[in-house]
Amino acid sequence: REDLGLPAQHQNSWRFALDRLLMSYLNQPQAEYADIYSMNFFDESANQIIGPLYDLIERLGYYRQQMLKKRPISKWVELFSALLDDFFAASAISEQTVLADEQVLTEREAATSVIARLQDALSQWQEQQEQADFNEPISYQIAAEGWLACTRTHRLQQRFLVGSINFATLMPMRSIPFRHIWLLGLDDQSYPRRTPVPDFDLMQSRYRPGDRSRREDDRYLFLEALLSAREQLSISWVGRDIRDNHERPASVLVNQLLDHIDRGWVNGTKTDAGHSRVVDHPLQPFSADYYRTDQPALFTYNHDWIATDRAATKQEKHSPAALHPPCVIEQNRLRRFFAQPGLAFFQDRLNIPAEYDQPAHLDDEPFMPTAGLDGHAIKQRLVSEIVAKLGRHPDPSAARMLEPSWLDNQLTEIWRRLKGEGLLPFAPFEQILKQQMLPVVKSLLDDWLGLLSLAENHTWLSLPADQLELGETRLLLDSVH
């Protein structure tokens, strides 16, 4: 932050979060050291990733400091070589994983190829420096540009059609065979290509046999593509208009091909063997047709929308589902119902999963959480911890404990703990938030003190029972108060 012209504060930084994770791993919950508090909850399964995460942040910080210094090209080559060894290691993927998964093998080969290209470019850049006999110190921006420029020149020297997947325009290829060929954009208005004829072009009005025709050239290229496909040929075009959704025809060449297939082949019991193979894809990628089994021609590799489609299939009516009271209610479910009745309504009646009830991300970062749930959570934390210090069952005599000095000390201690947990903004916004929050919390505590007198006449009902039957419903309880 200091290098970027910002205050050099440790709070709410990557280092601050990493220190909290390490505190949570090494200590008990609510442990404190150097104004940093460990997390209240910590998943033990996260222990395996704390070490690599710590190592990653340490190395990023080290190389960032090294990039700020100017050095000769020979020193930059040494630094970049060490960077490649630290961050890019294709050997990190075990042989057992490679043998078990073919996709991992492909990814490992691709990673090895990229690393080899970067190392070759680094060697080429060093050779250029030795030939030019240039030993002046240069900045990181110039060094990175020189290194990556060598990778770009290396790519320009690649041979034609060396990749597994090749993208190209239609051109005379002398029927070079390919296993799969996909032809995209064969719309009626796009292919064959229509060339506007100028008014002064007299050759178009005096056409003679043997003159070149763009449309005939495109027809020839289309026939060559048909001959080049060995296993599969896929043709795509825009079948619906983007404005009013009316049907748009395919290219005349595609229609002629379909008519020719209809006259010469039969697809099972269908006589239109060509037109029966045309698949009408939905406009949206999240369409329910992609996830239904009755249309095998429609499929997708994206699984993000399948949960939404299944939930919509189960919930066909727009009204809430009928409530069927369960015969057995567990204690945790009963407690959750009284704590969050709205969430229970969404889950039980509307069949909306809880994982979709996530807060929306703001476009602008709020400097002070004075409004909304963040501000309410801070107020609730201050009040609840003060009340917890007075005991679970309030005693009227506890009002004497809430002296101004005692209350100020307790609120200051809680405020310091909130800051150590990363819940408060930077200064001076922290002081402004403190001046706004503490008077409100003290007012809430004063109102709570006025209700302590009712505790003298309050009686408690205790039912030491394992279960309680209410009509046809049975409550599984530990104890009821």
Q: Quote the DSSP letter at residue 398.
A: G
Question: Which of 332-346, 418-432, 452-466 is least confident?
Answer: 452-466
pLDDT score recorded for residue 236: 93
Same domain, 137 and 176: no
What total of structural domains would you count in the chain? 4
In a domain, 59, yes or no: yes
In a domain, 42, yes or no: yes
For residues 49 and 86, give the distance between their C-alpha atoms in angstroms, rounded to a whole number: 17
Same domain, 11 and 54: yes
pLDDT score recorded for residue 273: 77
Question: If 0-12 CB within 10 Å is exposed, 13-18 middle and 19+ buried, where does residue 246 land?
Answer: exposed
Tell how far CA 142 is from the center of its chain: 33
For residues 6 and 226, give the distance between their C-alpha atoms in angstroms, rounded to a whole number: 63
Same domain, 8 and 64: yes
In a domain, 414, yes or no: yes
pLDDT score recorded for residue 467: 59
Are 215 and 224 spatial neighbours (Cβ–Cβ below 8 Å)? no
Same domain, 292 and 217: no
Higher local confidence (pLDDT), 440 or 368: 440
Tens of pLDDT, residues 138-194: 998 998 888 888 887 544 444 556 667 778 788 776 667 888 999 998 998 888 887
In a domain, 428, yes or no: yes
pLDDT score recorded for residue 154: 43
Tens of pLDDT, residues 111-128: 777 888 888 888 888 888
In a domain, 68, yes or no: yes
pLDDT score recorded for residue 118: 86
Tens of pLDDT, residues 198-227: 778 777 778 788 877 888 888 888 998 888
For residues 276 and 9, give the distance between their C-alpha atoms in angstroms, rounded to a whole number: 67
pLDDT score recorded for residue 443: 81
In a domain, 57, yes or no: yes
Q: Does pLDDT of 480 surpass 50?
A: no
Same domain, 289 and 221: no
Tens of pLDDT, residues 45-78: 666 777 788 888 888 888 988 988 899 988 999 9
Q: Does pLDDT of 395 surpass 90?
A: no
| Averaged pLDDT of the chain | 75
Tens of pLDDT, residues 290-317: 877 677 788 877 777 766 655 555 555 5
Same domain, 299 and 384: no
What's the pLDDT band for 237 if we cut at 50, 70, 90? very high
Same domain, 376 and 266: no
Same domain, 268 and 301: no
HEC assignment per residue over 282-298: CCCCCCHHHHCCCCCCC
Report how far apart, in Å, the C-alpha atoms of 72 and of each of 75, 78, 85, 149 are.
5, 10, 20, 18
Beta pairing partners, 235 = 183
Report how far apart, in Å, the C-alpha atoms of 66 and of each of 83, 134, 143, 307 are.
11, 21, 13, 47
- Report the C-alpha dihedral over residues 78, 79, 84, 86, rounded to 10 degrees: 120
For residues 150 and 357, give the distance between their C-alpha atoms in angstroms, rounded to a whole number: 49
In a domain, 389, yes or no: yes
Same domain, 69 and 172: no
Same domain, 43 and 70: yes
pLDDT score recorded for residue 430: 76
Same domain, 249 and 221: yes
Report how far apart, in Å, the C-alpha atoms of 436 and of each of 238, 271, 311, 429 are.
59, 79, 44, 11
Query: What's the whole-model pTM score?
Result: 0.45
The domain containing residue 16 runs over which residues? Answer: 2-93+106-152
By C-alpha distance, which of 59, 71, 83 is closest to 141?
71
In a domain, 422, yes or no: yes
Q: Quote the DSSP letter at residue 196.
A: P
Q: Does pLDDT of 197 surpass 70?
A: yes
What average pLDDT score do residues 328-342 get?
A: 75
Of the ranges 27-31, 104-108, 323-327, 439-443, the best mean pLDDT one: 439-443
Are 47 and 55 spatial neighbours (Cβ–Cβ below 8 Å)? no
Tens of pLDDT, residues 282-291: 888 778 888 7
Same domain, 369 and 289: no
Judged by DSSP in three states, 229 sits in strand
What's the pLDDT band for 277 if we cut at 50, 70, 90? confident
